Chain A
Amino acid sequence: METQIKSKENFNPRIVAFLCNWCTYTGADLAGVARMKSSPSVRVIRTMCSGRVDPTFVLKAFKMGADGVMIGGCHIGDCHYSEGNFKTLRRVEFLKIMLKDFGIDPKRLRLEWISASEGDKYAHVTNEFEKELRELGPLVLQE
């Protein structure tokens, strides 16, 4: 018990973020340009559209030791590719059910709509996610 608490204190979550090129990735860029403090735990992978995020990427990330996965896309109706984010929304809902079966808390997967102008939202969301993961503790996968 004691060791677990200790490890929680020193715990720095590892977050893999799949960000769409047009909205969230640019929003993250804006957060940087505007010198907003966003979570350093986030490791970003750029995709052209959030619709490109194959559920296997998310599973792979968890398997490789990510404590949380975030998918960022354009707001519904604002997708650069018209409707890619609708598909993401659908997939993520299914994926969350699947994660539960795998013994992974669905809270560890987060889907966010952040537009290119919402640098502050990006900073806020990543900081919040990091905090949430700190409370959840490191992801332990059962064999």
Chain B
Amino acid sequence: MIKLTIDGKQLEVFEDTSILKAAEKAGIWIPTMCHCDYIEPYGVCRLCSVEVVKGKRSRIVTACNYPVREGLTVRTNSERVKWIRKIIMELMLSRWPNVPAVKEMAEQLGISKPRFESKEKDEAEDACILCGMCVNVCNDLVGKGVLGFSKMGIEREVVLPYNERSEECIACGACAYVCPTKHIKVKSLEYERGAIQDWSLASKTAIYVPTMQAVPRVPTIDEASCINKQTGGCKACQTYCEPGAINYDMKDEEIEVEVGQILITTGYQLMDLTKMPQFGYGRLDNVYSSLDFEHMLNSTGPTNGTIQCKDGSVPRAVGIIHCIGSRDENYHKYCSRVCCMYALKFAHLIKDRTTAEVYQFYIDMRAFGKGYEEFYKRLLDEGVNMIRGKVGEVTECRVDGEKPFLKVACEDTLIGKFREIPLDMVILCPAIESNADSSDLKKIFSISQSPDKFFLERHPKLDPMSTMTDGIFIAGCAQGPKDIPDSVAQASGAAAKILSLISVGEVAVDPIKAEIVEERCSGCRICNNLCPYGAISYIDEKKISFINDMLCKGCGTCVAACPSSVITGKGFTDAQIMAEIEGLLAI
């Protein structure tokens, strides 16, 4: 530890601390315009100049890159320091008179007007003030070194190599983030070309907590945009995490666990709405999916729970379109089951929080559950407009002098007319579909899928949570679209089934097994390679094949193949099946 005095205050700091940091610790403000915590001190703005007294002599040094020494006395507010700062600030202000960051700093230092005029005056508000933070952050933090200075003196400027877009640039945006004047802007070429649309409700950083309700509520790193994952640099979050919980080397691990039973509750995914471009999702502003809107309704969401259009205005009319991709011959023939009710909930909340008119575009209202029909009736009383018919398309309309609005073209089958309804916001209810990787899962567990790709239950009425494979159970939307109460009921049922097997402690194995009559086996070994489970082995001493009872699953492939008919399948012997054939064909 090193002892020093700043403005008469005694303090103790670690070695290698800069005067700036030490002063910060003591609560003394030193102005600076080129320093931030992400980068090595650069000392280019000279604003942090302080007076260092050693013995009888004193010198002016920059606080940001001057390390503390034992017994140092620092004056941050002496007349000499003030005089130097004033000149520096006046020079900056005369050159960049309109930059807010410079103006603000000048105000803090009590300077309203410079005493002199600059020949190189740049009156832009977002002028580059040559602080070099962008260059340093790209070098030190990102580790890419894309940006650099060119020329000298009054002509000095920040440039890209050869003034061209650099191949090395990973478009992380760190330079734009640190730029105090917003001189640097990140442009997305895909966005400009129109390939990617910025329709998300809010931007997020590369490390974020998915939702405030997430369990466990810990941040996650988006590997695709994390600077560390691309260049190995940055590590800003690790620096600031006091408990040291961030570990970039953590990798996905495969863990082997031995279990007796498995419950598959892998849920569902929502249909990709861009597959149906006529509704404008991802193309038009203020067209949201139900999940986006749910996000907006959330009090911890991007709008703090207020319902608003992209420009921040309160919508005058909101349309909710049901059955996007469900009950549709071209996409999914089934009903997604939950949309009608959450669409009604949306309508209720919109009515509750705004004065907007609400339109529901539905094929059939399916208020099937306990209390649901009553809720539907209540919504009708609240004055929600119900339009029975399919929506053809959603388009954007622009009228001079007015803000653009959305137009929904639909057929109203109850009055038998084609209608066009102007709306400010459209919410789409996408179909629930089985996860994209459910076919892989199906193979892993050797269970089946119904034609709609949801996992198939053993029996649609009597055994809706078991599968054809013993010990594998399914519940929730993995089995088919269903709402929360139904998922809870099915999962509880499946858990009870699993527990009942655990409490017994023993499993009844199917008695259907193949058996070899040893005396008659010729040892031809035809059956040995047929068994997919490797249950048949050859005993060299006896020159016969042998079936391991525990490995045999009883499929009977070997039974059918045995040329001497000495393998019998219990319950399905040749004699039994022959008798069945005879019996069946007796009449």
Contacts and interface: CB of A to CB of B under 8 A. Distances in A.
A91 B580 CA distance: 21
B584 A45 contact: yes
Contacts of A61: 581, 585
A57 interface: yes
Contacts of A64: 581-582, 585
A81 B557 contact: yes
A54 B560 contact: yes
A33 B450 CA distance: 15
B451 A80 contact: no
B448 to A, nearest CB: 5
A116 interface: yes
A14 B557 contact: no
A112 interface: no
B581 A48 contact: no
Given A45-B581, A52-B569, A60-B581, A118 B557 contact: no
Interface stretch (A1-9, A22-30, A124-132): A22-30
B585 A52 contact: no
Contacts of B460: 30, 33
Contacts of B582: 64
Most buried by B among A55, A66, A116: A116
Contacts of A137: none
Contact of B446 (A56, A80, A91, A118): A80
Interface in B387-424: none
Interface string B558-587: 011100000001001010011011101100
B448 A45 contact: no
A16 B555 contact: no
Contacts of B533: 81-82
A49 interface: yes
A53 interface: yes
Contacts of A23: 448
B555 A52 contact: yes
Interface string B443-473: 1001011110000100011000000110000
Given A16-B584, A48-B512, A54-B574, A115 B448 contact: yes
A84 B556 CA distance: 9
Given A80-B446, A118-B451, A48 B569 contact: yes
What range describes how many residues of B lie at the interface? 20 to 34
Contact of A84 (B449, B450, B555): B555
What range describes how many residues of A lie at the interface? 35 or more
Which secondary structure dominates where chain A touches chain B?
loop
Contact of B560 (A52, A60, A116): A52
Contact of A51 (B449, B461, B560): B560
A69 to B, nearest CB: 10
Given A22-B468, A116-B448, A48 B578 contact: no
Contacts of B512: 48
A33 B581 contact: no
Nearest to A77: B443
B553 interface: yes
Contacts of B449: 117
A135 interface: no
A22 B556 CA distance: 13
A32 to B, nearest CB: 11
Given A49-B555, A57-B581, A117-B449, A87 B461 contact: no
Contacts of A52: 555-557, 559-560, 569, 572
B11 interface: no
A37 interface: no
B554 interface: yes
A39 interface: no
A50 B167 CA distance: 59
A73 to B, nearest CB: 11
27 contacts: A22-B448, A26-B468, A43-B584, A45-B584, A47-B556, A47-B572, A48-B572, A49-B555, A49-B557, A51-B555, A52-B555, A52-B560, A53-B560, A57-B577, A60-B581, A66-B585, A80-B468, A80-B469, A81-B555, A83-B532, A87-B560, A91-B560, A116-B456, A116-B468, A117-B449, A117-B456, A118-B451
Q: A-B pairs with the 7 shortest C-beta distances?
A: A52-B556, A51-B557, A81-B555, A49-B555, A82-B532, A117-B450, A54-B560
Given A49-B556, A51-B560, 9 more contacts: A22-B448, A45-B577, A48-B555, A54-B559, A54-B577, A77-B443, A81-B533, A84-B555, A84-B557
